[in-house]
Amino acid sequence: MELETLLSNKEAVFQVLGTIVVGACVLYGLTVLISSSKKVAKPNLASQRALKRGSVNIDLNENEEADIAEAQRDFLRSLDAVRVVTKVTSISFEKLENLKKRSAFDLLLSVVQDEYSGNTDLKLLLNRILKHIRVAPGISVLLDAEISPPALFQPRYTLVLSENSAFVITDGFAGQPCFGPPDPNKKYTEKRIRYMTENLANLKSETAVLVNYYLCSTAKKKIEDEIDIEQLQHCLRGVILGS
């Protein structure tokens, strides 16, 4: 009887020890699994976090004919980089074959006329738009962001239109080091900048246009990959643009 009791006690001890060992192994396995899953799931926020934000005021100069003429010439030189976005359409001037200079202005005016129904004079609004579809306003932005040299690579201009608003958004690579071929339209850097005008149909000042910007890290080599047209259209359908 004593032998049986002893053996029974030993079996119980072994069962307890076995349970402890198995529990330890399971706990270790779960720890490893959770640890590895955290490593996989952890997002890299470096490219999503703004390195710098700011705003600048760009002189309006609405009555200076020379400035308007220069803006028109810059627009024609930048046609390949221009896109117009409304709630339901997206027009890329680059994809329009045999687009002549005069027809480019006519097309832009036609799109603005069709979409915008506010109180601002169309010619005045068109001139404001043209003045921001070019690199010139970006120099002030780049200087404020302390980017040296103040150069913008692969600039892309997106005119976002609704029945009562008109915004111009500019995207491009900026900063150093710079990579790619000598052509500025193909160069890229490790930083991208986006800046956007206030509503050009309803300016807060009579002398200047407020432009907001932010600078971010990026691993992209083509600026088009940073422009989400569907997101812009979603903003127009009800989400506050630029929020």
Identify the pLDDT of residue 239: 45
Instruction: Give the lowest-confidence range in 23-32, 46-55, 167-176, 207-216.
Output: 23-32
Q: How far is CA 115 from CA 51, 160, 161, 173, in A?
A: 35, 10, 7, 30
Identify the pLDDT of residue 102: 66
Looking at per-residue pLDDT, the higher value among 61 and 100 belongs to 61
Would you say residue 175 has pLDDT above 60?
yes
- Kindly state the percentage of the chain with pLDDT values over 90: 51
Identify the pLDDT of residue 16: 42
Q: What pTM was computed for the model?
A: 0.75
Q: How far is CA 119 from CA 122, 123, 165, 237, in A?
A: 9, 12, 10, 21
Are the C-beta atoms of residues 204 and 210 closer than 8 Å to each other?
Answer: yes
Instruction: Give the lowest-confidence range in 94-103, 168-177, 216-225.
Output: 94-103
